[in-house]
Amino acid sequence: MSMKTLGVGFVGAGPATQAIHIPTLARLTDSFHVAHVMDVDAEVAKAVADRVGAAHSASLEELLADPSVDVVAICSPPQFHTEQVAAACRAGVRAVLCEKPLATSGQDAARIAEVVRETGVPLVVGAMHTFDPAWQWGFERMDAMPHTVRSRIVLPPNARFEDAATEVIERPEFPKRDLSTPEAEAAFLSGVLFNLVIHDLPLVRRFAPDVDRIEFARGIEPFAYVMRYRSGDTLVDLTGGLSANWRPDWSLEAISPSRSLRVGFTPSYVHAGSAGAEVSTPDGTERMRRDRHNGYEGEWVRLARYARSRTANSTEVQEMVQDLQYTVDLSAAVATKVLEDVR
């Protein structure tokens, strides 16, 4: 098989494409080149494409008809993922990368899985933490289900790190947050789960596979959250917030009777190698030496392997669907808890 580099077509030219994926592909030039950039804003598509010498368009159909596009990266708003992933698979590309969340409902995620099964086109979801060498190292060293899992995400706004990665063209405006009513608070927490905590939820699910009972759920002005729930005998704490004045701290902990794991991730948009990880037991602490490769590279390396071998990955896609369903179930349970607490 020819070892020419794979041409990537980007659907959506926002900050994730500009500040995450294009810089990542610049480190993987033996495998990839940017072939086409599509965005509904034709001027943004052209500006981003011109940086990398790629074609541009404002039409998904035009991108999928481009013979230089071997793999497609779906980086559009989540409500468009189902139809766009399906269209890419049916167009016969070699592989598809879809940014998280895979879909906005379990039904749509299942539809994507069915299209993948029908077409045999491999799919990778851009959940970069699942591909991080530090997470993989630490997970392999846990010898029992933990009694406590903690995800903590304390960050400044994304723009700080986006600007460190590239000069972003046309950032989208985010709607103002509203916590004035229980319904608004429930919607805020759902947004937190689908847009922020979803980075860690696939990892949490490995230790806490069910959402049995929500013990506490609150949104806090201006942008912070606390959620606690039970999965069998495991207690899960999800906490975090955004503030320009706080030191970044993105960590995942899992504590069992015999050992504890802590993984410290870099903030999104930071290209500085892997997370750090350590496992502690009564006999001492073992630390992983940071890898120069991060989860962003890991997901693209996986995609390249699938694309070159044309290996279908339906079993792996089912795991991705279950990860999405876990987020859907947790969001619904949190909303119920918030509304029940005010009755």
**Together in a domain, 134 and 269:** yes
CA–CA gap between residue 91 and residue 34 (Å, rounded):
18
pLDDT digits (tens, 9 = 90+) for 235-270: 999 999 988 877 899 999 999 999 999 999 999 999
When divided into structural domains, the chain yields a total of: 2
Confidence of residue 174 (pLDDT cuts 50, 70, 90): low
**Together in a domain, 114 and 185:** no
Token output for 326: 């876990």
The CA radius of gyration of the chain, in Å to the nearest whole number, is 20
**Together in a domain, 110 and 230:** no
CA–CA gap between residue 23 and residue 31 (Å, rounded):
14
| Strand-strand pairing, 55-57 and 32-38 | parallel
CA–CA gap between residue 221 and residue 218 (Å, rounded):
10
**Together in a domain, 81 and 173:** no
Provide the β-strand partners of residue 126: 99
Helix 182-195 × helix 314-340 angle, to 10°: 160
**Together in a domain, 161 and 96:** no
**Together in a domain, 186 and 334:** yes
Q: What is the edge-to-edge ordering of all strands in the sheet holding 260-265?
A: 213-220, 224-231, 234-242, 148-155, 249-255, 260-265, 276-281, 284-287
pLDDT digits (tens, 9 = 90+) for 267-311: 999 998 999 999 999 999 999 999 999 999 999 999 999 999 988
Do the beta carbons of residue 260 and residue 172 sit within 8 Å? Answer: no
CA–CA gap between residue 277 and residue 140 (Å, rounded):
12
CA–CA gap between residue 39 and residue 271 (Å, rounded):
24
Confidence of residue 176 (pLDDT cuts 50, 70, 90): confident
Q: Residue 1 domain-assigned? A: no
pLDDT digits (tens, 9 = 90+) for 51-82: 999 999 999 999 999 999 999 999 999 999 99
Specify the pLDDT at position 156: 86
**Together in a domain, 203 and 226:** yes
Confidence of residue 105 (pLDDT cuts 50, 70, 90): very high
Q: Domain containing 111 — which CATH number?
A: 3.40.50.720
Q: Residue 36 domain-assigned? A: yes
Confidence of residue 175 (pLDDT cuts 50, 70, 90): low
Residue 213 CB contacts under 8 Å (≥ 6 apart), including other chains: 229, 230
pLDDT-above-90 percentage for the chain: 85
Do the beta carbons of residue 321 and residue 109 sit within 8 Å? Answer: yes
**Together in a domain, 178 and 49:** no
Within 13 Å of residue 27, how many CA atoms lie on the same side as its CB?
Answer: 16
CA–CA gap between residue 307 and residue 96 (Å, rounded):
9
Ramachandran region of residue 60, left (φ > 0), alpha (ψ -120 to 50) or beta?
A: alpha
Q: Residue 318 domain-assigned? A: no
Q: Domain containing 237 — which CATH number?
A: 3.30.360.10
Within 13 Å of residue 341, how many CA atoms lie on the same side as its CB?
Answer: 16
Q: Residue 320 domain-assigned? A: no
Q: Residue 58 domain-assigned? A: yes
**Together in a domain, 255 and 309:** no
| Residue 222 preceded by cis peptide, ω within 30 | yes
**Together in a domain, 94 and 173:** no
CA–CA gap between residue 10 and residue 90 (Å, rounded):
17
Q: Residue 246 domain-assigned? A: yes
Q: Residue 319 domain-assigned? A: no
Average pLDDT rounded to a whole number, residues 144-160? 91
pLDDT digits (tens, 9 = 90+) for 26-57: 999 999 999 999 999 999 999 999 999 999 99
Q: Residue 61 domain-assigned? A: yes
C-alpha closest to that of 155 among 46, 260, 269, 54: 269
**Together in a domain, 157 and 219:** yes
**Together in a domain, 169 and 253:** yes
Model confidence, pTM: 0.94
Confidence of residue 312 (pLDDT cuts 50, 70, 90): confident
Domain containing residue 273? 130-294+327-340
3-state DSSP call for residue 247? Answer: coil
3-state DSSP call for residue 219? Answer: strand
